[in-house]
């Protein structure tokens, strides 16, 4: 069996490794447009900021290692420019081999999502950067390290924008962050996100809310960012991070079905509408695990899981992807924010009934040194089924949200939260863990 994979990072590399484990004989070819495969996208901001010092640590797998370990035929700098589902072939443009066709028995598409580049005056400036891959990272790192780079404007208060604001600050720059909406980090509701915004502010990030970028202009060695309010910011570089869109333009004449925002439509086996064509990762539409509506959640965990499921189905295992709940976490200087499931904004938009409680427990027993408060918000439906949770604090935020994420996966209730028996000794928690406390408050 010959399986072609488009995209060699999260979804693509997971699919390749899983396929090999399931089928020793398959001929697996993985195409990647860029010079690198299987790199740590999520680590890129921390390399720019300096917490990750060794660039080679970002390269999780090399084509050679992937070939040696899994016998995968990895072809880098090879872009799949079109697919022909009738004759089961793809066309490849390779820097080394030129243009050629390759046939398949099964095809997995994991092309990911690309940063949105708005059509604004001055957008062509080389002082405007976007962050998706290693070549972008190298450019930004060089600019940050250059003599004379003192300031940056980050546009967009999503995960990448906020992580970059922190890391550019860590790298010693003056940083402004512009967010078009009234809050940063959309997975959180406003009151939770404002705790994270305060942390940015206290670390010297100049936050500008509810203002839109209208254009850019190069002024000498600097770049000017013009806002709708009339404010003009001048800085040495701009990091544009206003969201991503599926990287699927090469598929437009393929007969594939797409969702309203250009995501590839798949069923729960990750099959598209085309015979033996699977799609996974940031490029696909998924089901919201909590409310059952269609959504798109560009996160690494879902992409990896979906890659594995596509491989399972090609090998006849029949596993299914049951939806994404958007569990996510972010470090903002000394504070951690994490969330899972639906927030109030989503439930209101869908007109679904819910209740909310807040608790402010300590991360561990207060008589043991170092306990810090956690602000937790729990959202549940009138029958008590947990719909979502958000937490912000200094430590122990991750495990509390992960506990609740697990309960949501099993369609658990606030009573289940009270009944969870969680690990406890004074340095780690309290006999009534914060997750139990949230359940008690909700019952």
Q: 43, 60 in Cβ contact below 8 A?
A: no
Candidates 73, 79, 174, 218; binder of ligand FAD (CB under 6 A) is 79
Query: What is the helix (H) or strand (E) element at residue 219, kind and residue range?
Result: strand 213-219
User: Shortest gap between Cβ of 367 and ligand FAD (angstroms)?
Assistant: 35
282-286 own/partner pairs: CB under 8 Å, 24+ apart: 282/11, 282/112, 282/113, 282/244, 282/246, 282/247, 283/109, 283/110, 283/111, 283/112, 283/113, 283/246, 283/247, 283/248, 284/246, 285/259, 286/321, 286/323, 286/324
Angle at 337 between CA 285 and CA 356, to 5 degrees: 80
Among 49, 63, 111, 187, binds ligand FAD (CB under 6 A): 111
Is residue 380 at the binding interface for ligand FAD, with CB under 6 A as the rule? no
Q: Are 108 and 271 in contact, with CB atoms under 8 Å apart?
A: no
Given a contact cutoff of 8 angstroms between Cβ atoms, the answer to whether 155 and 184 are in contact is no
Which CB, 110 or 176, lies closer to ligand FAD?
Answer: 110
Torsion angle of the four alpha carbons 91, 92, 93, 97, in this order, in degrees rounded to the nearest 10? -120
Instruction: Indicate the residue among 310 and 386 with the shorter CB distance to ligand FAD.
Output: 310
Residues 6 or more apart whose Cβ sits within 8 Å of residue 381: 352, 353, 354, 355, 387
Q: What order do you get walking across the sheet with 128-129 strand by strand?
A: 128-129, 237-240, 151-155, 174-178, 206-208
Is 34 a binding residue for ligand FAD by CB under 6 A? The answer is yes
Name the one range near ligand FAD by CB under 6 A: 130-138, 179-187, 190-198, 335-343: 130-138
Q: What residues contact residue 349 under an 8 Å CB cut-off, 6+ apart?
A: none
Least distance CB 148 / ligand FAD (angstroms): 25
- When asked if residue 300 is in the footprint of ligand FAD (CB under 6 A), the reply is yes
Residue 52 Cβ vs ligand FAD, minimum distance, rounded to whole Å = 12
Q: Is 52 in the site for ligand FAD (CB under 6 A)?
A: no
User: What's CA 204's distance to the chain center, in Å?
Assistant: 25
Task: Locate the DSSP E strands across 236-296.
Answer: 237-240, 244-246, 277-279, 286-287, 294-295
Q: Determine, following the binding rule CB under 6 A, whether residue 3 of this chain makes contact with ligand FAD.
A: no
By the rule CB under 6 A, 277 interacts with ligand FAD: no
| Nearest CB to ligand FAD, comparing residues 38 and 315 | 38
Q: Which of residues 211-270 bind ligand FAD (CB under 6 A)?
A: 247, 250
Segment contacting ligand FAD by CB under 6 A, of 204-212, 278-286, 309-317, 338-346: 278-286
Q: How many residues does the chain have?
A: 443
Which 8-state DSSP code applies to residue 261?
T
Catalytic hit among 42, 52, 180, 300: 42
Q: Is 110 in the site for ligand FAD (CB under 6 A)?
A: yes
Instruction: Report in angstroms how near the CB of residue 306 gets to ligand FAD at its nearest.
Output: 8
Q: Which is nearer to ligand FAD, 197 or 283 (CB)?
A: 283
Stretch that binds ligand FAD, among 10-18, 60-68, 118-126, 266-274 (CB under 6 A): 10-18
- Does residue 7 interact with ligand FAD by CB under 6 A? yes
CA 95 to chain centre: 29
Residue nearest to ligand FAD according to CB distances in the complex: 281
CB of 256 to ligand FAD, least distance (A): 13
State yes or no: is 42 an active-site residue: yes
Taking the least distance from each CB to ligand FAD, the nearer of 107 and 376 is 107
Please identify, among the stretches 41-49, 138-146, 221-229, 311-319, the one whose residues bind ligand FAD according to the rule CB under 6 A. Answer: 41-49
The minimum distance between CB 300 and ligand FAD, in angstroms, equals: 4
| 388 vs 327: CA distance, rounded Å | 9
Pairwise CA distance, residues 387 & 106, whole Å = 37
Catalytic residues: 42
List of residues contacting ligand FAD (CB under 6 A): 6-12, 31-34, 41-42, 44-45, 79-80, 110-112, 131-133, 160, 247, 250, 281-283, 298-301, 303
């Amino acid at each position: 069996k010959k399986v072609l994979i488009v995209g060699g990072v999260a979804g693509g590399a997971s699919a390749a490794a899983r396929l090999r484990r399931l089928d020793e004989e398959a001929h697996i070819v993985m195409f990647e447009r860029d010079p690198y495969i299987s790199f740590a996208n999520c680590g890129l901001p921390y390399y720019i900021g300096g917490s990750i010092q060794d660039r080679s640590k970002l390269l999780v797998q090399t084509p050679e290692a992937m070939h040696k370990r899994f016998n995968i035929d990895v072809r880098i700098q090879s872009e799949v420019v079109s697919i022909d589902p009738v004759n089961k072939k793809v066309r490849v443009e390779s820097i080394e081999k030129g243009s050629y066709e390759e046939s398949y028995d099964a095809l997995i598409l994991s092309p990911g999502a690309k940063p949105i580049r708005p059509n604004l005056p001055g957008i062509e400036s080389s002082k405007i950067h976007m962050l998706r891959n290693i070549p972008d990272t190298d450019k930004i790192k060089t600019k940050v390290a250059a003599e004379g780079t003192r300031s940056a404007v980050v546009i967009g208060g999503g995960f990448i924008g906020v992580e970059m604001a922190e890391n550019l600050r860590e790298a010693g720059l003056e940083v402004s962050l512009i967010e078009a909406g009234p809050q940063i980090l959309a997975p959180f509701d406003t009151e939770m996100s404002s705790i994270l915004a305060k942390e940015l502010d206290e670390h010297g990030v100049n936050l500008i809310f509810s203002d839109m970028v209208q254009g850019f202009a190069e002024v000498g060695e600097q770049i000017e960012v013009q806002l709708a309010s009339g404010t003009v910011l001048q800085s040495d570089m701009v990091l544009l991070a206003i969201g991503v869109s599926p990287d699927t333009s090469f598929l437009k004449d393929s007969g594939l079905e797409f969702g309203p925002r250009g995501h590839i439509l798949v069923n729960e086996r990750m099959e598209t509408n085309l015979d033996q064509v699977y799609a996974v990762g940031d490029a696909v539409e998924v089901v919201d695990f909590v409310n059952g509506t269609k959504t798109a959640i560009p996160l690494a965990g879902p992409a990896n899981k979906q890659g594995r499921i596509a491989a399972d189905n090609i090998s006849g295992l029949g596993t299914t992807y049951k939806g994404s709940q958007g569990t996510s976490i972010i470090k903002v200087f000394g504070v951690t924010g994490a969330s899972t499931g639906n927030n109030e904004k989503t439930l209101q938009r869908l007109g679904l009934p819910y209740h909310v409680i807040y608790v402010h427990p300590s991360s561990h027993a207060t008589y043991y040194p170092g306990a810090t408060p956690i602000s937790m918000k729990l959202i549940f439906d009138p029958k008590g089924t947990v719909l979502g949770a958000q937490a912000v604090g200094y430590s122990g935020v991750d495990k509390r949200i992960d506990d609740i994420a697990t309960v949501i996966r099993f369609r658990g209730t606030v009573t289940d939260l009270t009944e969870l028996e969680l690990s406890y000794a004074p340095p780690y928690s309290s006999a009534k863990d914060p997750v139990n406390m949230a359940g008690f408050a909700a019952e």
